[in-house]
Amino acid sequence: MLVVVAGVDESDEVLRRYPFVDDLLVKPVTIPRLRLCLDRALDTFNSRRVIQQLDEAVARKSQDLHELNSIGVALSAQRDISKLLELILAKSRAITASDAGTLYLVVRAKEQDSHTEDRLRFELAQNDSVPVAFEQRTVPLDESSIAGYVALSGRIVNLADAYQLPSGTPFTISRSWDQRSGYRTKSMLVVPMRDHQGTVIGVVQLINKKRDAKTVLRPVALVDEAVVPFTSVDEELVNSLASQAAVAFENTRLIQDIRNLFDSFVRASVTAIESRDPTTSGHSGRVAILTVGLAEKVDALEAPPFRDVSFTRDQLQEIKYASLLHDFGKVGVREKVLIKGKKLYVGELLLLRQRFAYIKRTMEAEHLRAKLEQLTAGHASPELLTQMDRAHEKGQEDIDQILGMILQANEPTILEEESFRALMDLPNRTYTDGEGNRQPFLSPNELSALSIRKGSLSEKERREIESHVTHTFRFLSEIPWTGEFRRVPEIAYAHHEKMDGTGYPRKLAAGDIPIQSRMMTISDIFDALVAWDRPYKKSVPVERALDILRDEARTGKLDTQLLDVFVAAKVYEKTLPRAGAPAELAR
């Protein structure tokens, strides 16, 4: 403290020139004046010390609040329950300089009134001084353990020495783990985790507060020197953190439950569409596996052209949802078109078979009637009857050959030119129906269907099948997707687009097709080629399927660079057992 001595006439000038002085003593200096000056100095000194202490306390409190806010932000951002629990325990230990800690969760009985079946699950353990052989287990929720007592009572327990419990304590502390590990549990702070409704959902148990957080409590004799009791400030901090942690845990669990519920909805949707088209059962799941697998490989690449392409966990989930639901629009396609495996529908083929059976029976009746007329007229020589039988048999064989040719043309294969010309001639062949009218062997609609040169669908039916993409987009657009999954409709909408603009339904150019959709296109085509469960086509060997994909890429329809990753990383092998393709063919 700086005190200046000056005369009365000089005092104002001295204070003006030296504003930093703490006090001024006017001449002459007397004992009373000196005593008064010292008293003022002492008061100033004490006031400054108190202010400094208050400033330090405010700074510590501010630091504590800042730390709690930072922890709260970190807890709120974590969506993985296991990592969240690890973070809760680690942060609780960090702000209290605890050497070890455990975390328990309350497992409520299924029946709300049956509290006797509530359990306490040992969820997590951490220790800086000795290794912990952790094994998750549950124990009855009662007051026999300190964690059970805190969970039931909702009270904080702060022990200076776990081996010296206060009299009347309802719980006991087992020393068995200490004895096995050579550890010494001394100070303990056990705090309940309460959710927003005040219900205890877990317990944070902290062990051995250290003077220096970096100290390792080995050998065990170091515990008495390095370990101190937890303070009331520790109680406040951990209690506040535990409350934040409980809310974060409940929110994360709720989000996980919602996501699980939505996953179930997606699976149910896939089951619904595959039940309408059993021949493609499993296709959506396999496409999801392949597309996500390809995305993971692309994400891991550090070289061009995919060095800047990356996918977060949510984006991979978005790709999975889009892949699983990419064919959902098939619910808007008529089932008979959806499952049409041959050119004629089942009912049409049955009617055609019955017609040819009727034609054969009519020919049989006419043959027998002609023979009877010859016999009645007395002209039926053995040679004539034999000749008539042979002519009848040839006519029957001719009908059988026509029917066989029709059945062959009904297959979804490429129609040969010779078969096509033979079909065109059939409307000229007629028979007499039951009402005496002449009818063609094939109706115009049947002839049109059987004349399909490739596959089993007419142009109109093909457009109806292709409309499933638009139906899918409209259906998925009705779902209130959360932000991280907002592109699911867009990704699914483009899975039949081609890089050269020849795809459907919008004929997008390469730059307008999302990379996720381009990956799905490769997966979709590959699975359709190697799938063994399609009644209208044979499974294509894996190497042949890859060759077909390469041909499509060379002609500009598929993304060549993505296909290279798909093949080089052998992503296709992920579903070979499910698709029924022999894995050895891929080697």
For residues 560-577, give the mean pLDDT.
93
- pLDDT category at 525 given cuts 50, 70, 90 is very high
Are 101 and 207 in contact, with CB atoms under 8 Å apart? yes
Q: Give me the pLDDT at residue 150, please.
A: 95
What does the DSSP assignment read for 44-98? Answer: HHHHHHHHHHHHHHHHHHHHHHHHHHHHHHHHHH---HHHHHHHHHHHHHHHHTE
Looking at per-residue confidence, does 581 or 47 come out higher? 47
**pLDDT band for position 228 (50/70/90)?**
very high
Environment class of 519 (CB within 10 Å of its CB; exposed 0-12, middle 13-18, buried 19+): buried
- How confident is the model at residue 116, as a pLDDT? 62
Give me the phi and psi of 25, to 5 degrees please: -110, 120
Please, is 323 exposed, middle or buried when counting C-beta atoms within 10 Å of its C-beta (0-12, 13-18, 19+)?
A: buried
Any idea which of 60-74, 94-108, 389-403 has the lowest mean pLDDT? 60-74
User: Do the beta carbons of residue 237 and residue 96 sit within 8 Å?
Assistant: yes
> Pairing mode, if any, of strands 227-228 and 200-210?
antiparallel
Contacts of 237 (CB under 8 A, 6+ apart): 64, 68, 95, 96
What tens digit of pLDDT does each residue of 275-317 get? 887 777 889 999 999 999 999 999 999 989 999 999 999 999 9
The distance from CA 34 to its chain's CA centroid, rounded to whole angstroms, is 81
Please report the pLDDT score of residue 579 as a whole number. 47
Q: Where are the domains of the chain?
A: 3-66, 79-255, 277-336+464-586, 346-456
User: What is the Cα–Cα distance from 545 to 87, expressed in whole angstroms?
Assistant: 48
181-207 pLDDT, tens digit per residue, is 999 999 999 999 888 788 898 999 999
- The pLDDT, as a whole number, for residue 158 is 96
585 has pLDDT over 50: no
State the chain's mean pLDDT as an integer.
Answer: 86
Architecture in CATH of 277-336+464-586: Orthogonal Bundle (1.10)
Residue 287 has what pLDDT? 96
Q: In this predicted model, what pLDDT tens digit does every residue of 39-59 receive, in sequence order? A: 777 777 776 676 666 665 555
CA distance to 304, 563, 569, 570, per residue, from 300 (Å): 12, 16, 11, 14
Give the rounded percent of residues in the chain with a pLDDT score beyond 70. Answer: 89
Average pLDDT over residues 308-330: 94
Q: Tens of pLDDT along 363-391?
A: 999 999 988 888 888 877 888 889 999 99
Contact 294, 571 (CB under 8 A): yes
- Is domain 79-255 annotated with CATH 3.30.450.40? yes
Query: Is residue 583 very low, low, confident or very high in pLDDT (cuts 50, 70, 90)?
Result: very low
The residue among 301 and 418 whose pLDDT is bigger is 301
CB 170 within 8 A of CB 249: no
pLDDT at 210 over 80: yes
- Per-residue pLDDT of 99-129, as tens digits, reads 999 999 999 877 555 556 789 999 899 999 9
The torsion defined by the Cα of 27, 32, 37 and 42, in degrees rounded to 10, comes to 160
Least confident of 60-64, 388-392, 557-561: 60-64
Band of the pLDDT at 587, cuts 50, 70, 90?
very low
Q: What's the whole-number mean pLDDT along residues 407-428?
A: 81
Which pTM does this prediction carry? 0.66
pLDDT reading at 10 higher than 90? no
